[in-house]
């Protein structure tokens, strides 16, 4: 299934994308795509519904974040060896973990706000994984059973705040609108191998990132198991798993976003995002 949330910001309704590309309204079945709705039993209930029995949503509504009421937005840094190299940093021996504040979450096609006085706002296309089955101390061999599905994430980053201002990375990662997710939450059964997905990002029509999840250092099952040693994972938590090379920081010379540009990005099978910088 391809699940989504549509409508004005803060008033999103749950929906389903049918085989013809129509949005079908799920609000008569569930309140939102959040929390326990993402657990395996609930997703199976949605899977059993005939999409043609659901009302078609007319027009072209705004697409919101594909998960509502996110509890934790956990990110993994330097998870592609060639991205670590372009950043001038060593390949990590354990996953680099940081967080985005949930106030950074926005829809996949919403404007991205460049912070005041920012000169180094950057882009990062990433595979997002969404937890469905809660757990702690999850065995790596069972880890994929804890997934509701996958989505596209743009891990927008302010490099000066992240790297040059001291402390942790978090303050350069969690600014408002720095976490576009969606358009769809694609359920786990639709993705045969999360480690063989093409991913790309363009700025103003020029392709800067063109990679594949096969080059991840730490794979999805390991990341879920690893993180669950330090925190319990709940339904609706989002994990962003790292970016391939081609970010602005890695250009020679470095290249950063300014007002009035367009980012377009996508992952095979998971859809595309388009954001304008303001």
Q: Where are the domains of the chain?
A: 2-53, 73-276
At 5 the pLDDT is 98
pLDDT per residue as tens digits for the range 171-226: 999 999 999 999 999 999 999 999 999 999 999 999 999 999 999 999 999 999 99
Q: CA 236, CA 251: separation in Å to the nearest integer? A: 35
Q: Does the structure show a pLDDT above 90 at 48? A: yes
At 122 the pLDDT is 97
At 128 the pLDDT is 98
β partners of residue 34: none
Q: Does the structure show a pLDDT above 90 at 157? A: yes
Please report which confidence band the pLDDT of residue 159 belongs to, taking 50, 70 and 90 as the band edges: very high
Q: CA 278, CA 276: separation in Å to the nearest integer? A: 6
Question: By mean pLDDT, which of 12-16, 19-23, 80-84, 97-101 is the weakest?
Answer: 80-84
Does the pTM surpass 0.85? The reply is yes
Q: Does the structure show a pLDDT above 90 at 92? A: no
The domain defined by 73-276 folds into Fumarylacetoacetate hydrolase; domain 2 (3.90.850)
At 169 the pLDDT is 84
At 85 the pLDDT is 77
Average pLDDT, the chain: 96
Q: What is the dihedral of CA 76, 81, 85, 87, to 10 degrees?
A: -20
Q: Left (φ > 0), alpha (ψ -120 to 50) or beta: where does 43 sit?
A: alpha
Q: In b/e form, how buried is each residue of 25-40, taking b as 16+ CB within 10 angstroms?
A: ebbeebebbbbebbbe
With residue 76 as reference, give the H or E element that holds it: strand 73-77
Task: Please say whether the beta carbons of 47 and 82 come within 8 A.
Answer: no
């Amino acid at each position: 299934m391809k699940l989504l949330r549509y409508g004005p910001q803060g008033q999103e309704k749950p929906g389903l994308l049918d085989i013809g590309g129509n949005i079908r309204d799920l609000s008569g079945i569930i309140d939102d795509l959040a929390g326990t709705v993402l657990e395996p039993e609930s997703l199976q209930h949605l899977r059993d519904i005939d999409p043609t029995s659901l009302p078609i949503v007319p027009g072209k509504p705004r697409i919101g974040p594909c998960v509502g009421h996110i509890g934790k937005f956990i990110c993994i840094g330097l998870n592609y060896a060639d991205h670590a190299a372009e950043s001038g940093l060593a390949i990590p021996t354990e996953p680099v973990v940081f967080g985005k504040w949930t106030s950074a979450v926005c829809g996949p096609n919403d404007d991205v706000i460049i912070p005041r006085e920012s000169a180094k706002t950057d882009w990062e296309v990433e595979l997002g994984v969404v937890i469905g089955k809660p757990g702690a101390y999850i065995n790596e061999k069972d880890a994929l059973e804890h997934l509701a599905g996958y989505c596209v994430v743009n891990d927008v980053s302010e490099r000066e705040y992240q790297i040059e201002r001291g402390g942790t990375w978090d303050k350069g990662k969690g600014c408002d609108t720095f976490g576009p997710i969606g358009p769809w939450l694609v359920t786990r059964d639709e993705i045969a191998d999360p480690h063989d997905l093409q991913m790309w990002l363009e700025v103003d029509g020029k392709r800067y990132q063109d990679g594949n999840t096969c080059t991840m250092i730490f794979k999805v099952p390991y990341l879920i198991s690893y993180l669950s040693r330090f925190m319990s994972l709940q339904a609706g938590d989002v994990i962003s798993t790292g970016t391939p090379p081609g970010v602005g920081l890695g250009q020679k010379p470095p290249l950063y976003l300014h007002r009035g540009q367009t980012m377009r990005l996508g992952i095979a099978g998971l859809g595309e995002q388009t954001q304008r910088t303001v």
